[in-house]
Amino acid sequence: MTCQSYVLKGGNRVEYTIKTLLTREEVERRIKELAKEIEKDYQGKDLLVVGLLKGSVVFMTDLIKEIDLPLEIDFMSASSYSGTESTGIINISKDLDIDVKDREVLIVEDIIDTGLTLSHVRKMLEERGTKSLKICTLLDKPSRRTVEIKGDYTGFEIPDEFVVGYGLDYDQQHRNLPYIGIVVKK
C-alpha cells in the first residue's frame, strides 16, 4: 500500500492510500490470455488496433506485443472525465490518422464505467464504415453502466471503486503504477 498526500490541479489537498486490487503478475497473465484470444479471432484479417488516449496506452503496448499477427495501431482521444466524476460530456481532442473505412477495428480501452465514452466512439467509427468493430477493455465496472455496451474482450470485472495504475489516472497521476490499485481516501 502506497501512502499519498497530493495537491490536485484545482488546488485542494487530498490524502489517500492506494490499495492493491490486481497485482502486476495477475494483470500481465490476463493480458497474455486476451492477446491469444484476439490472435485466434483475427487470423488472416487486416487488424487495426485503436487505443483511446491516455488511459489505454500502458495496457495497449503490453497487449500488442503479445499478438503475433500483422497489425496497425492508431490513437484517438475521447474523454468524459474530470477528477473522479463523470461529466457525461464527451470531447474528441484527437481524432484518428488512419481511415477506418472497411477496416477490422479493435478499440482498446482502459476501463468501461458508465459506457458513455465507448458508445459514442463506437457509433462514430461505425458511421465511418468499419468492416467490423470490437472492443477490448482491461477493466469493466458493470454496476456503473448507464448505456448498454459490453467488451468483446474483458480483462477483469471489478467492483464500483475508483482505481489507478496500468494507465488509469487520478487527476493525471499514477498511470505508471505497474499494478491496479483502489484509491482509498482518508
Active site residue 113: yes
Contact region for ligand IMP (CB under 6 A) — 7-15, 25-33, 60-68, 114-122? 114-122
Query: Who contacts 1 (Cβ-Cβ below 8 Å, separation ≥6)?
Result: 17, 18, 19, 20
Is residue 55 a contact residue for Mg ion (CB under 5 A)?
yes
Secondary structure class of 84 (helix, strand, coil):
coil
Q: Measured from the CB atom, is 70 or 88 closer to ligand IMP?
A: 88
Provide the 3-class DSSP secondary structure of residue 54: coil
Q: What is the DSSP letter of 123?
A: H
Query: CA 105 from chain center: how many Å?
Result: 15
Determine if 163 is a binding residue for ligand IMP (CB under 6 A).
yes
Residue from 46, 74, 110, 113 carrying the catalytic annotation:
113
111 forms part of the interface with ligand IMP (CB under 6 A): yes
Name every residue whose Cβ is closer than 8 Å to that of residue 58 and which is 6 or more positions away in sequence: 166, 167, 175, 176
Active site residues: 113
Q: Name the residues that contact ligand IMP, by CB under 6 A.
A: 55, 80-81, 86, 109-118, 162-163, 168-169
Q: Name the residues that contact Mg ion, by CB under 5 A.
A: 55
